[in-house]
Chains A and B, each alone.
Chain A
């Protein structure tokens, strides 16, 4: 048996905080063999990213390795002086970060960044390094690398940038690659390509990979062995198939149960069999004028540039049902949502709510009936307001309550409905976790007693177990109040669980719509089929 590339023994990472010591990584040990992909999963705060940072020696102070040892090919590296450690990085251990939009320096061309890295680690002159950089970009799947090498990062799309990041991490042929959520910021179809690139490059070079992610689906498709982490400790280790099919520990069992699957036909909610339509969307179109300025048009003959964000989209939503709108970023689903609530006006077409045109004006009635829940619960609540004021704002704005007393009673009731303690109305948003904040946002949406709620990626910023709780809550509230949802998500599995009908959007066009099971089990449009195939799903593990 060959020697492991990396061995971690009893690693402990501590953060001295004002209120005492926080142990981010607690007694973690594992090995990674050459050519092996080790998946590390866990929810946010599980210590998985911190383990990666500890191996490459990039823990942000005041955090530090309190005890334990890290061996790279049998040589101890956790106690090296900073200068020696920095020579190790890139040369022996490469790293890929989550967000390709921020991990490249915007002021240098990708070529400059590649050449700089190559020449730091390998004895090459400028021309040789440039040739190697072109080869690397080619291997990472960037078309026409000879011309793209002199482009700046902002000239690449997100997926292309992540390929550049991978090329950079591989520049000096490291033995170990730590990939920290390498695909979490990308669309599913791009995600599938990146996983393929990463896998192929590791196979051809025999490098070991530590794949850190919260997405069990990605691990199911990529890794051979996996570690489940929770609160800094390793909960379970084993082969990917064993853990997903036969989890042993309670935590792992709960985690895997919480993950929705696109193959899962058990529905959270069944719409009442009525045929009354609540929302009718008719030939909705929206253009954005991105034309260059007057001088550019005059001097360079630049053309007017009108982007058709949404083209001729029509669908209906039955009362009391959930309509899921899926698509990748830039497909126009959020623009659709904004037109539905009247935040922007359609270029042409109509949105009818109970037969009345929404764009006709902001009537009191319409504002009361339609509410919205946003993606990021950290950004959508005013941090300087108390929860009671946040939830009561729609009531005051719409004059639904006559005095403070009444408003407070209503807020207390709403907090109970979203399963939060009414006492928490005196607190500020930062005192709550992400899932709790999203509950507050839901309570705010409910406070005007709406009939129709537009949910724009309501669970994308949340951990899987929290996501499951929030989705359960949404379903319960739908039963209690007879709500109608428009659920916008890029997560197909969530849509499968929640929606009664689905619409698939691609480049502003609604390519397919129909009942949820029909779309998922027997997709008609080419794009839908491609999308469903690309989803990394735990059902795909052998």
Chain B
């Protein structure tokens, strides 16, 4: 077990190093950082002096080493646009994105699993047919269209829910949460649904397909032949086996909920990391883009690690077999 985690950790570090290299190249070679910092009417001597001061004349590997060193301490430089440290910017925006991602992940998991199991156990029922047809909508419609549609129905026509922003937020030890106020919660509903819809339908279809497969297995027939109750067979034997492959895909999907909340955040003007990134792209704010790249890579690496460990917990074949494979 320990060896397994160490091996995965070693792989994660390699992945992060490669991403850091890409982020550094972006930082260093996309446009001229000095030109971005100084105005067009600065003197050539100022350019040279700043170049020397920022260490841009040093060899490539020295600069890269310095970049890694800074990144490890959470230093990604100063945003060109907002003139604030990038790490502070990201941290201040992070709670909004994490709350949104967490809410939509919960919706996607709970409904995706329940509906997936339901449609697998009653594959021929009318309700399953309706659910499967509707799920096509979730898979095929683009996120921004769903967002705009929801805004139109619930914010414009029915006027039940707000269409933008986070509502009131409460500051708890630096974490600005919207979960404790009524407007905050109401503001969360539409973006969370929008963001979760794709993952929900995907998880549901995956669970259904896997479970139908598992129900055809010999050990399910044998469980029936032993006279076990329907409940024990469906939710004990079948569901646990279904979860093994589902965990991987779901884990990766939840990573992309955090990473690609950009569209949803833009549609709902949600003040999260995604909208920070979009605004930075528009003005070529390279330090923010580089930091965002590192951040997303980190999220994926961590989620992958958790998925691998979960795999270990669910599947005894890995647990015991790891030593002898």
Contact = CB atoms under 8 A, between A and B. Distances in A.
B315 interface: yes
Interface string B1-30: 011101100000000000000000000000
Contacts of B237: 105, 108
Contacts of A171: 226
B3 A296 contact: yes
Contacts of A120: 226-229, 232
A153 to B, nearest CB: 9
A91 to B, nearest CB: 6
B229 to A, nearest CB: 7
A299 B2 contact: yes
B241 interface: yes
B227 A88 contact: yes
- Interface size class on chain B is 20 to 34
Given A86-B230, A94-B225, A102 B218 contact: yes
Interface residues of chain B: helix, strand, loop or mixed (majority): helix
Contact of B227 (A86, A105, A165): A86
Contacts of A91: 227
Nearest to A152: B316
Interface stretch (B43-51, B285-293, B317-325): B317-325
Contacts of A296: 3, 322-323
A305 B325 CA distance: 11
B7 to A, nearest CB: 5
Interface in A274-328: 290, 292-293, 295-296, 298-300, 302, 305
Nearest to B2: A299
Interface string B121-154: 0000000000000000000000000000000000
B314 interface: yes
A391 B94 CA distance: 63
Contacts of A99: 218
A155 B323 CA distance: 13
B219 interface: yes
Interface string A90-122: 110011010100111111110000001100110
Given A120-B227, A152-B316, A300 B323 contact: yes
Given A104-B219, A152-B320, A296-B322, A87 B3 contact: no
Nearest to B241: A107
Most chain A CB atoms below 10 A, which of B2, B226, B230: B226
Contacts of B317: 106, 152, 154
B190 to A, nearest CB: 39
A117 B224 CA distance: 10
A154 B321 contact: yes
Contact of A103 (B3, B222, B316): B222
Contact of B222 (A95, A121, A290, A295): A95
Contacts of A105: 219, 223, 237, 241
B159 interface: no
B227 A97 contact: no
B218 A168 contact: no
A90 B227 contact: yes
A298 B323 CA distance: 12
Most chain B CB atoms below 10 A, which of A120, A292, A296, A305: A296
A116 B316 contact: no
B221 interface: yes
Contacts of B244: 107
Interface string B69-112: 00000000000000000000000000000000000000000000
Interface in B219-254: 219, 221-230, 232, 236-237, 240-241, 244
A103 B236 CA distance: 15
A292 B325 contact: yes
A137 interface: no
Contacts of A305: 324
Contact of A95 (B225, B241, B314, B325): B225
Interface string A74-98: 0000000000001111110011010
Given A95-B226, A103-B218, 14 more contacts: A58-B224, A87-B227, A90-B225, A97-B221, A103-B219, A105-B223, A106-B317, A116-B232, A117-B226, A155-B320, A292-B323, A295-B3, A295-B6, A298-B3
21 contacts: A58-B221, A86-B227, A88-B227, A89-B226, A89-B227, A102-B219, A106-B316, A107-B240, A107-B244, A107-B315, A108-B237, A108-B240, A116-B236, A120-B226, A120-B229, A168-B222, A168-B226, A292-B323, A293-B7, A295-B3, A300-B3
Interface of A: 56, 58, 86-91, 94-95, 97, 99, 102-109, 116-117, 120-121, 152, 154-155, 165, 168-169, 171-172, 290, 292-293, 295-296, 298-300, 302, 305
The 9 closest A-B pairs by CB, nearest first: A90-B227, A89-B227, A95-B225, A102-B218, A295-B3, A90-B226, A103-B222, A152-B316, A105-B219
